[in-house]
Amino acid sequence: MADGNPPSPQRPLERQVSPGSGRRKAPTTPKGRQLDPEAVDAVRALLGDRSRQRDLLIEHLHLLQDHFGCLHARHLHALGEEMRLPMAVVYEVASFHAHFDIVEDGEAPPPELTIRVCDGIACEMAGAQELLAKLPQSLSDKVRVVAAPCMGRCDTAPVAEIGHQGHLHHATVAKLAIAGSGGPVDVHQPTPVDYDTYVAHGGYTVLRELLDGTRTADSILGALSDANLRGLGGAGFPAGKKWGIVSQQPHPRYVAINADEGEPGTFKDRWCMERDPHRFLEGALIASASVSADACYIYLRDEYPQVNRLLRQAIDRVAQEGLIDQICPVYLRRGAGAYICGEESAMLESIEGKRGLPRHKPPFAAEVGLFGQPTLTNNVETLYWVRDIIEHGPQWFAGKGRNGRKGLRLFSVSGRVNKPGVVHAPAGITARQLIDEYCGGMAEGHAFKAYLPGGASGGILPARLGDIPLDFGTLDEYGCFIGSAAIVVLSDQDDIKAAARNLLRFFKHESCGQCTPCRNGTEKAVKLLERDSWDQDLLADLSQVMRDASICGLGQAAPNPIDCVFKYFPEDLAS
């Protein structure tokens, strides 16, 4: 400007208002959903003096669901306000997990009782689809029947969950109809070894020796390494080495125990916790003390309500004995029906109160884990063996293997065998030996045709390959792996293509949706498998993309059943 003064700001154009009309009224309330004062009071009363910290979000969602029978939108809004969390955060976590029922305002809540029928591969082989088809006709409209993924009770298939109180083993329409009408039903109730009995047989001696200095953390780490104990949740990383890495990291350090065994065919961890919870708990406390942890978190799958009660009782009893105070706090956290949370990093995300989305690696949990701090992650079975290894010596454990392998394992065996269940057997045993020596042979009228060596992810092998030692690395050349040692036995009366479809439907249902190769790949695979004729070239191409580009093991391993059918069962494709 010539005068050197800054330009005057222009006045905005005023909205013209015609004579006689008034200006638009200002809103009386803020935009968006309004807080319901009664809902706020109800949520606040329910939470009581519980902490409102972020990592308790899923615990508080369970509290609401258990109390009200569902998650009303008004209560979710109130919970977000109470925890100082955005509505989007509360909703995305609640909607991520299958066991939460979100009900919008004005919608009818779910029926008073929900019966969940497992449609996992073992239960489908035992007649789950027939139950799902016939059961609704035998129940009132106050009972909801839904299909649910593997419940970790494959040895007593078919299985159904009655509400969230217990499971009916070897379920029939008649038994479930009685349960649905409020009649008595004999649900599974485990009888565990109690604290006094456990201590009377030497329990917690190793832990006390570690605490009083009779044993050192270094000696325990050395024993685990000499025993060749590996992570028995599926990854197989050497336990002693992992403990050593975490023990060298800066504080705070955490222990996170994966008790969310959602792999179809797997139930060994439940078996450990139901029958001998203190043996597992002692292993967890030894691990926490050995790495000088600042806190220990046990992440338990929601399908195990009885185990939840047992573990809480066990933790309380050990706390009364003063053992926990000498080590670190122990927190039991409850999952909510998401298989993906069995993946290490997804579990950590869920414990933090987030959606269970797997993290990119590196960094690994031993350096950057729970709350961004060094974290020791182990599964239940790994810790279950710790006391025995220390007590009996590493040579005792390492000397138990077969076929050149070392150690003992708990095999979950289900399907067409006479005696399905958890089997204590040497690492390196074969599927045929498991069937003949531990499971009473094949069920009457059935001939051994195929088996899953590592649950849904581990692939499918024919009976002619039933003499391969079952251990880490022994199945790689066959395109399979042992994983969590879930052995599902199929017979000449089973349809291999139907088995593969069942497994891929599971992966489609359980994909977290974070990455396109897994999210869209599993959906596309199911559609292709539902055709009468399978397009081998297209499925092979899809398989390769999923393996190469998926973020985590779910998407990378999901194609295994398809690839195995093409490789080992060409005669079934023609039928």
Give the tens place of pLDDT for each residue, 62-121.
999 999 999 999 999 999 999 999 999 999 999 999 999 999 988 999 998 999 999 999
Indicate the SS3 state at residue 454.
Answer: strand
Taking alpha carbons only, the member of 191, 154, 225 closest to residue 456 is 154
Mean pLDDT, range 459-475, rounded to an integer: 97
Residue 198, pLDDT above cutoff 50:
yes
For residue 300, the cross-strand partners are 259, 334
Mean pLDDT, range 362-373, rounded to an integer: 96
Indicate the SS3 state at residue 35.
Answer: coil
Which region among 184-193, 320-329, 503-512 has the lowest average model confidence (pLDDT)?
184-193
Spatial distance between the Cα atoms of 66 and 458, rounded to a whole number of angstroms: 35
Give the tens place of pLDDT for each residue, 29-46.
667 778 999 999 999 999
pLDDT of residue 141: 87
Taking alpha carbons only, the member of 285, 231, 233, 242 closest to residue 262 is 233
Angle at 266 between CA 262 and CA 267, to 5 degrees: 100
pLDDT of residue 6: 44
What DSSP element (H or E) covers 425? strand 421-426
Mean pLDDT, range 282-286, rounded to an integer: 98
Spatial distance between the Cα atoms of 149 and 101, rounded to a whole number of angstroms: 16
Give the tens place of pLDDT for each residue, 427-441.
999 999 999 999 999
Angle at 55 between CA 54 and CA 57, to 5 degrees: 70
Give the tens place of pLDDT for each residue, 209-243.
999 999 999 999 999 999 999 999 888 899 999 99
Edge-to-edge strand list for the sheet holding 408-415: 421-426, 408-415, 486-491, 448-452, 461-462
Spatial distance between the Cα atoms of 438 and 424, rounded to a whole number of angstroms: 9
